[in-house]
Amino acid sequence: MRRRPSIAVRLALGLSAGMALLWVGAAAISVAVMQHELNEAYDDSLRQSALRLLPLAVHDLRERDHGLKRLVVGAEGEDGDGDEDDYAPDGVPHDASFTYYIRDQAGQLVLRDEHAPETIDVDASQEGFGELNGQRTFALDDPRSGYSIVIIELSDRRLTALKDSVVALGLPLLALIPLIAGGVWFSMRLALRPLEALRRDIAQRDSRNLAPLRSDGHPAELAPIADAVAALLERLKSALDTERAFAARSAHELRTPIAGALAQTQQLADELAGRPGAERVQKIEGALKRLSQLSEKLLQLARIEAGFARTNDETDQLPVLRMLVRDINVTTAWRDRVELEGGEVSRLPAAIDADALAIVVRNLVENGLKHGDATAPVRIVVTADGTLRIQNEASALARDDLSRLGQPFVRGDTLAEGSGLGLSIARGILEQAGGRLTLISPIAGRDSGFEAMVELPRRDKSAP
């Protein structure tokens, strides 16, 4: 059977996915805003560095100016005598995250930081921010001295800061998604408890239990559904009660006229004994007997529908069995063909109505007497665990035939008279009382025979 999707799981996944998308969208906006702010902050840092470094560099150049050409890195004024004017000046101390170079009014390079690229393709006359090989630059011109400076950002601190921001926003999401999904699922399970309670309440209703549903405690969304189901059950109960009452009254009302007609027919048969028409009267008598038996079965079915088999009292049913066996052996045509084997069992406790148990056992015994070997007895074996085994001699039944027995109006391959209701009535009574009927053929340890195993209901020991 294909597993059906759960509302709680769907909502948990949907809400979690929606919250994750909202979080990702908010994080993307936050990253974009943060990137803009970081660029502004680092651009301002480059600008401030240029504003501080250019005056310092110009001052340094003027302090060393014994001839400006000798201070230029790589200028032709190097005299090769090994003194300090043969080396590039150390420059101005600064943060290692950027480098710089300075040009004079003619655009000649007069000072270059040791980390600055040797080939520089930046127009220093164009002040402001720019790009050099993917690196951020800032150019500034001092109109009083004529010198200009270009700051080149070396480090990837912008990208690092952006990555750290993305990680800081993304890691909580990875941790929160399972927590959000679990929280939503748990909340949905709590919210759906009234629905589960209503489902269990409806599942307990059947043809024998049409009691009103519990109407208290339902939320506003479920209350109309519960009221509609309760109204439907009430209409169904009314219809079933009418049907049961009609069946019971019909079966009861038929017993008297059938019994009267049967008595008249039997008297007529005696009067016509040996005369023409006697055979027809005997056929009428047989038909009336079958009709009487059918009306008795229908009355039993009506009593089953009324729920008479259930009881909370556990009583000893062994005297009922003994009285029933004695009645069958004395008052029916099957004289002395039923044997009760109890062994050392002295009590048979069961939580079932005595009349209901008598109907069950009588139907099962009559089934064995009608359809079993006419020369062999029907045995009722009472075991120590309170199980009844009703056994009769018969040919072994096929598995398919055995599985169909117990259904209303279903009969096996037999020529004996019957309505096909006996096993069905017995099974219905036992199921109503909480017991179970199992049909077995052949009997265990043999290659023939038929056995009806009756597991009697017991009272729940935990019940008050």
Q: Can you give the pLDDT at residue 391?
A: 92
CB 12 within 8 A of CB 188: yes
Say if residue 464 is preceded by a cis peptide, omega within 30 of 0: no
From the list 273, 294, 292, the residue with the least C-alpha distance to 282 is 273
pLDDT at 207: 63
- Residue-wise DSSP of 36-90: HHHHHHHHHHHHHHHHHHHHHHHHHHHHT-SSGGGGSTT-TT---SSSGGGS---
Is 153 within 8 Å of 136 (Cβ atoms)? yes
CA torsion, points 82, 86, 92, 97, in degrees to nearest 10? Answer: -100
pLDDT for 282 equals 82
Kindly report the CA angle at 116 between 101 and 69, in degrees rounded to 5? 45
List the helix and strand counts (H, then E) for the chain: 9, 12
- pLDDT score of 244: 65
What is the H or E stretch that residue 111 is in? strand 109-112
**Among 338, 337, 447, which residue's Cα sits nearest to residue 395?**
447
Distance of alpha carbon 254 from alpha carbon 267, whole angstroms: 20
| Neighbouring residues of 343: CB distance < 8 A, sequence distance ≥ 6 | 382, 384
d(C-alpha 406, C-alpha 390), whole Å: 15
What's the rounded Cα separation, in Å, for the pair 370 and 9? 58
Neighbours of 60 (CB within 10 A): 17
Handedness of CA 390, 382, 329, 287 (dihedral sign): negative
Which are the contacts of 372, defined by CB distance < 8 A and separation ≥ 6? 378, 392, 393, 394, 450
**What is residue 454's predicted lDDT score, i.e. its pLDDT?**
92
- Interhelix angle 422-433/354-371, nearest 10 degrees: 150
Beta bridge partners of 451: 391, 440
* Whole-number pLDDT of residue 73: 39
Angstrom distances, CA of residue 13 to CA of 6, 16, 89: 11, 5, 66
What span, in angstroms and rounded, lies between the C-alpha atoms of 233 and 204?
Answer: 12
Phi, psi (rounded to 5 degrees) for 130 = -155, -170
Domains defined along the chain, listed by start: 7-162 (3.30.450), 233-303 (1.10.287), 310-455 (3.30.565.10)
Q: What is the largest CA-CA distance in the chain?
A: 166
CA distance from start to end of the chain: 39
Which ranges of 372-407 does DSSP label H, i.e. alpha helix? 399-404
Per-residue pLDDT 10s for the chain (464 aa) are: 467 777 777 777 788 788 888 888 888 888 888 888 888 888 888 888 888 888 888 887 777 654 444 333 333 344 444 444 444 444 455 556 778 888 887 777 787 776 666 666 655 556 788 877 777 888 888 888 888 888 888 777 788 888 888 888 778 777 777 887 788 778 877 887 888 888 888 887 766 667 777 767 777 777 888 888 888 888 887 877 776 677 667 666 777 787 788 788 888 888 877 777 778 888 888 888 777 777 777 777 666 666 667 777 888 999 999 999 999 898 888 888 999 988 778 889 998 888 888 889 998 998 888 888 888 999 999 998 889 999 999 888 888 888 888 777 676 666 666 667 788 888 888 888 888 999 998 898 888 999 999 999 887 654 44
435: closest CA among 381, 360, 365, 368?
A: 360
Q: How does DSSP classify residue 4? A: P
